[in-house]
Structure 1
Amino acid sequence: MATPSHTGLDAAQQHPEATPKETRRALISSFLGSTVEYYDFLLYGAAAGLVFPHLFFPESMDKGLGTALSFVILLAGYIARPVGGVLFGHFGDKFGRKNILFITLMMMGLVSVAIGLMPTYQTIGIAAPLLLVLLRVIQGLAVGGEWAGATLMAAEHVKEKNRGFAASIAVTGGPTGSVLATLILGLFAGLPEEAFLAWGWRIPFLLSAVLVIIGLYMRYRVTESPDFLRAKATGATHTGMPLARVLRDYPKETILGTLAVAGPLFMQAMLAIFMVPYVVASGAVDRQTALMMLTASSLVHIFAIPFFAWLSDRYGRRPVMLAGALISVALVFPMFALFNSGVFWMIALGFMVGNPIIQASMYGPIGAFLAEKFDTESRYTGVSLTFQVGSVLGAGMAPLMSQWLVKLGNGGGTNNIAWYFIFLIAVGAACVLMSKETLKRK
């Protein structure tokens, strides 16, 4: 006799909401895992403008060209992220979030350690930058599957009324990873130039192994997403291709979500990767001081993201993100004026305006904003695809676009970057305006 299929009610009874202990464990695991992932990923970005032009390209090459090529390799990692998002999203939607997140974290840690052990151009010639490209692409694949998985593990372990705040806990892994990356790299940047370039820059990459072990332990202990288990019990996860479902059933949501995230992600990467070497080149601050300024702003950023996410739980995703767009447009020119002031405390204030205010105001609700666009059986793939394609358009292009715009012959300098950012924010705000409000009020 055939076994009766599970109804939605049966599934809910078999897989009830997570207990408070399971919820806390999921939130901590998502936060720590995302922190480790972004520590590894952003560490490359922090080193791209300061270290790699000196070590992985010929000494005879112009350092500006070396920096541009380092940013191209950085972009390669971002281009790989949508591929990783679709790949890991497929298996995450079919077989569960937990095991996929274990794999992505392991991949990131191994690649980071490998970068720390890499021989330079002087040792192996052209193989050095080519190997760096390969490792960066593997990093991109891993982080492409990480962001959505960590965000969903947090969001799907809580009640709907708290989903924005819960998703933001995983999202804050980004600035937390940035704090760790820039803080540790900044400490070693205080070494004499010769020692820093010889071995000092390698230590932060090798320390990734310690963080990965902690993150893997926490991921091992976390329970699978209750939402996924309920979908699995109904048989929804065993039918069709998640990517095909997303493209067929959610084309509008995918496009709107992708364009909505590009602006905030541009600001994040521009500050972390382009602005540090920019202010150092101006002579106003040294390398270590600039990294510490970025670290301080990222520390405040950790608390700003959940704050704006909490506001979105109370007032809706769209109102908060649209208000964030207005804040971004109003403050971007003052922010660049602070960076160009040549005054220590004003440059530090520029980072504070950029990260915890401009970037966080629109970025805070992003996790819930994207997750609520898709059903459970397509959610991992849908969120991965929208966020990671948006990251290519925003963060991936940020260093190269910023370097090109600031050197345009029109004399605009950083004002060119500001206008480009305003364009991205305007497009993003229009996409938010065209999106449905997904906050469920009870």
Structure 2
Amino acid sequence: MTSNTSTPRRAAAAAFIGTTIEFYDFYIYAFAAALVLGQLFFPSDNPTLSTMAAFGSFAVGFIARPFAGMVFGHLGDRLGRKKMLLVTMALMGIATSCIGLLPTYAQAGIWGPAGLIFLRLLQGISVGGEWGGAVLMASEHAPKGRKVFFASFAQWGSPAGLLLALIAFRCISEMEHDVLMSWGWRIPFLMSGVLMIVGLAIRFGVPESPEFAEVKESDQTSKRPVSEVIRNSWRNILFAALAVTIGSAGFFFTNTFMITYVTQYLSISKTTILDCLFVVTVLQFLSQPCSALLAERVGEGRFLKWVASLCILVPYPMFMLVQTGNLFYMTAGIALAVVLLAALYAVIAGYMAEAFPARVRYSGISISYQLGSAVTGGTTPMLGTFLAGHFAGQWWPLAMFFSFLALMSLIGVTGLAHLRETASKTVALSSSDGVA
């Protein structure tokens, strides 16, 4: 089954717009956790403990993601990619809008934070099922030889969603403190309901993935895709989960933890760091498609190894520049790190997708990505806050933590590249034996 020439572009555009909305929802929670949720839902005499509690609720969303990846992976490999994307979009929009309506701890006692954690779980479930389907709808519609580039459109939604979230929080940060803490913080969450309607309308107009349709028509769908992919491709899952580490955790380090670090330990204003991150995210947005195109030219595996190696080194100049407190130098330091993270993030989705057969691909990439994100992405802001508090005034432990995350990605990319090369050689030998 083939699509007409405009369908790949429509699928890529739908993946981009859909993930933009999903990541907007996810990032506004991250910013709220860094700026207001600790005081509103986890009040304490110790600001660090309140912030860590808020980041703990942020991590809860990641705990749900591997489970959601398995559930939606199973359904996506059995029923189709498109149906799952409509479900996850609706779930995210409802959960995020409801956070904007929640009573705080002062208004409802323990029920406030309990409701927050429940809705955060729903957010995590949504993203856990969303990512794999969006990547596959873009890559499986792509022309031959362009899968990595087209899959990068799903990844492009991350900086776009972050830009929307930054704009929303930059606007409300100008409010009087009492107004912000009373009702202003709710506005970005309530906007999600409008965005959800837009996203659903766009996704309805894109046909099902042709590769999945071909698997279904030939009656080759897996009855138990999750167990099949874990049994047959567990090494691919392990290395793919490691490979995404810095692409997931690194962004929450630079875009979430860094807000807390510079405001609490360097006494830099919230508006200054938000302005800095806005410029950085614009650079990320512009650089990601360029990285995907470059990777196609030099080879995706080689490109990913180079970038992961550079990510090990980059936190040291980043922190030296951030410590100056100068807006220009801070922006340059964080941008240097983020452009490298974005390069890996742009390419890794399509590279991972090619590591799994179509009949179990949704399950394979969802489990891999969400497992890696749960273990490192959700805990990074909390661990960063702990290290900053324990080593007050010293940035090198934070830089070493960042380097460790990048090293995990380098190990994962190297292992995944080796498995793909081995599989290609095996297929080539089998083909030559068949010809003989």
Normalization by structure 1: what TM-score? 0.92
Instruction: Find the aligned partners of 2:327 and 2:169 in 1 and give their Cα distance.
Output: 20
Correspondence for 2:159: 175
1:48 counterpart letter in structure 2 = A
Instruction: Find the aligned partners of 2:243 and 2:229 in 1 and give their Cα distance.
Output: 17
Partner-residue secondary structure (3-state), 2:146: helix
Correspondence for 2:177: 193
Contact 1:405 1:413 in 2 (8 A): no
Note if 1:420 corresponds to 2:405: no
Give the alignment of 1:25-424 within 5 angstroms. Answer: 25-58=10-43, 60-237=44-221, 239-282=222-265, 285-356=268-339, 358-409=340-391, 413-424=394-405
Partner-residue secondary structure (3-state), 2:417: coil
Give the alignment of 1:6-21 within 5 angstroms. Answer: 15-16=1-2, 18-21=3-6
Count of residues in correspondence between the two structures: 421
Extract unaligned runs of 5+ from structure 2.
425-436
Following TM superposition, by how much is the alpha carbon of 1:312 offset from its aligned partner in structure 2, in angstroms? 2.0
2:39 counterpart letter in structure 1 = H
Q: CA RMSD in A?
A: 1.6
Contact 1:271 1:351 in 2 (8 A): yes
Instruction: Find the aligned partners of 2:214 and 2:42 in 1 and give their Cα distance.
Output: 52
Instruction: Find the aligned partners of 1:301 and 1:344 in 2 and give their Cα distance.
Output: 18
Contact 1:301 1:360 in 2 (8 A): yes
Deviation per CA, 1:42-90: give whole Å up to 9, x if none. Answer: 11001101011111123x5422111111111111100101111111111
Instruction: Find the aligned partners of 2:166 and 2:178 in 1 and give their Cα distance.
Output: 19
Contact 1:40 1:205 in 2 (8 A): yes
Deviation per CA, 1:391-415: give whole Å up to 9, x if none. Answer: 1122111101111222334x67321
Deviation per CA, 1:329-379: give whole Å up to 9, x if none. Answer: 2321000111111212111222211212x3113222111111011011100
Instruction: Find the aligned partners of 2:398 and 2:73 in 1 and give their Cα distance.
Output: 33
Contact 1:323 1:361 in 2 (8 A): no
1:21 counterpart letter in structure 2 = S
Partner-residue secondary structure (3-state), 2:6: helix
Deviation per CA, 1:95-142: give whole Å up to 9, x if none. Answer: 100011000000000011101111111110011111111000011001
Following TM superposition, by how much is the alpha carbon of 1:283 offset from its aligned partner in structure 2, in angstroms? 5.0
2:405 counterpart letter in structure 1 = L
Instruction: Find the aligned partners of 1:329 and 1:63 in 2 and give their Cα distance.
Output: 31
Please identify runs of 4+ aligned residues in structure 1 that moved more than 4 A.
437-440
Partner-residue secondary structure (3-state), 2:103: coil
Following TM superposition, by how much is the alpha carbon of 1:282 offset from its aligned partner in structure 2, in angstroms? 4.0
Contact 1:89 1:380 in 2 (8 A): yes
Normalization by structure 2: what TM-score? 0.93
Following TM superposition, by how much is the alpha carbon of 1:252 offset from its aligned partner in structure 2, in angstroms? 0.8
Contact 1:183 1:292 in 2 (8 A): no
Partner-residue secondary structure (3-state), 1:157: coil
Partner-residue secondary structure (3-state), 2:243: helix
Extract unaligned runs of 5+ from structure 1.
1-14
Correspondence for 1:433: 414
1:102 counterpart letter in structure 2 = L
Correspondence for 1:12: none
Instruction: Find the aligned partners of 1:340 and 1:318 in 2 and give their Cα distance.
Output: 34
* CA 1:436–1:281: 2 relative to 1, 3 Å: closer
Following TM superposition, by how much is the alpha carbon of 1:284 offset from its aligned partner in structure 2, in angstroms? 5.2
Partner-residue secondary structure (3-state), 1:159: coil
Following TM superposition, by how much is the alpha carbon of 1:285 offset from its aligned partner in structure 2, in angstroms? 3.3
Instruction: Find the aligned partners of 2:401 and 2:268 in 1 and give their Cα distance.
Output: 26
